Amino acid sequence: MLPGFGGRADQPVLVRLERALRDRGVTALRAELAHGRPSPGLAREVEVARTLGPPDRSFSAYAGRSFGGRVLARLALENRPRALLLLGFPIRSATGRRRPEDEAVLEQLACPTLIVQGSADPLGPLRTFERLMRRNPSLELQVVRGASHAFGGREREALDSAADWLALRLR
């Protein structure tokens, strides 16, 4: 599991997701990326993500929060995990600018992918995800009504549902 931009492995949302997964019999590993300006195409971050985890680099699934999801979605194109969980995927920049590379990555994913997105998240307009889902049947969207990018008071609901989804795919 990777945190959002500038986040650490102990980012509270990841700690809570790890706990929810453990309650469902799923072992999770939290990791983090180096901080700083993102590399072009997130190439450096994907390279670092390749080196994380157990010595054999075998992961059944990836889970990423925001920026961490952007990195793991790219890695999933190469490694095709059994499942990919994206929490608050920022398909738009903070200025509202499109991220066509991220859209292209989502269109190409071949593994079951759940995108958990707040309905009031300015970084993730639902209409964009709905369009992408029509193009790629591997994508699923879970909308957290009234939530913004960090889910706020709806976080537990979002994480419980996401953990259920992931545990089901790993059985």
Domains of the chain: 12-34+42-52+62-170 (3.40.50.1820)
Q: What is the pLDDT of residue 54?
A: 62
Predicted TM-score (pTM) of the model is 0.95
Question: How far, in Å, CA of 169 to CA of 132, rounded?
Answer: 21
Q: Per residue in 98-141, pLDDT tens?
A: 999 999 999 999 999 999 999 999 999 999 999 999 999 999 99
Residue 98 carries which DSSP code? B
φ, ψ of residue 109 in degrees (nearest 5): -60, 135
Mean local confidence (pLDDT), 3-12: 95
Q: Per residue in 40-53, pLDDT tens?
A: 999 999 999 988 86
Residue 112, both tokens: 């079951």
